Amino acid sequence: MPLETMTYSEGLRLSEERRRMVAEQIVSRGVKDPLVLQAMRTVPRHEFVPHDLRESAYRDAPLPIGREQTISQPYIVALMTETLKLEGGEKVLEIGTGSGYQAAVLAKIARRVYSIERFKPLSKEAERLLISLGIYNVVCDVGDGSKGWPAQAPFDRIVVTAAPEHLPEALCDQLADGALLVVPVGPQTRDQRLERHRKVGHRLVREDLGAVRFVPMVHG
């Protein structure tokens, strides 16, 4: 779908809302990585939400995107991106393309992003939108995210935007040595924990980064 045209004044207003979003929702909560902050200031979040929710695009909240999926609140996108410790040049696997917003933010920093989505319409729409925005270093595919993308492994970073009850072994196997995996883990009946795992040889070193709430990872 081509980008919708907007007036000059509307564009300025949305740019200002995006600037305030970064200052008030992200920097104020402790996100400091300049690469992440610049990506969040650059990517037009309003393009990744349904048109009737455009006025809410820069609110501090997740928003529905259809098929019982959501676009995460801006702070969570920034936090997860910072947690990956990207420096540029990395090969990243994203599980759960959704609207494509997180992939777009990652693509502003990483060398290449591989993104898997189980819902084909969401994947195809995200792919079209990313290309229309001039973001060409994201490769989208449809599949079971719990299995990763073995044909493209190993990855320098893996980020999961839906919560499995247990850490998928396939994703761990697709990490390069020294690579990082960021994933929310836990059932829907209670808060999940955001975890970061670093692969060191044949083992993983886990860090607990706090409570979060994500849609569940669905197999198949």
Q: So which residues are the catalytic ones?
A: 72
CA distance 187 to 172: 19
- Please say whether the beta carbons of 71 and 63 come within 8 A: yes
DSSP 8-state class, residue 50:
-
CA distance 129 to 151: 25
**Closest to 82 in 3D by CA, of 164, 159, 197, 175:** 159
Q: How many CB atoms lie within 10 A of CB 161?
A: 28
Which residues have a Cβ under 8 Å from the Cβ of 152 and sit 6 or more positions away?
A: 91, 93, 114, 139
**Closest to 143 in 3D by CA, of 64, 219, 66:** 219
- Helix (H) or strand (E) holding 42, with range, is helix 34-42
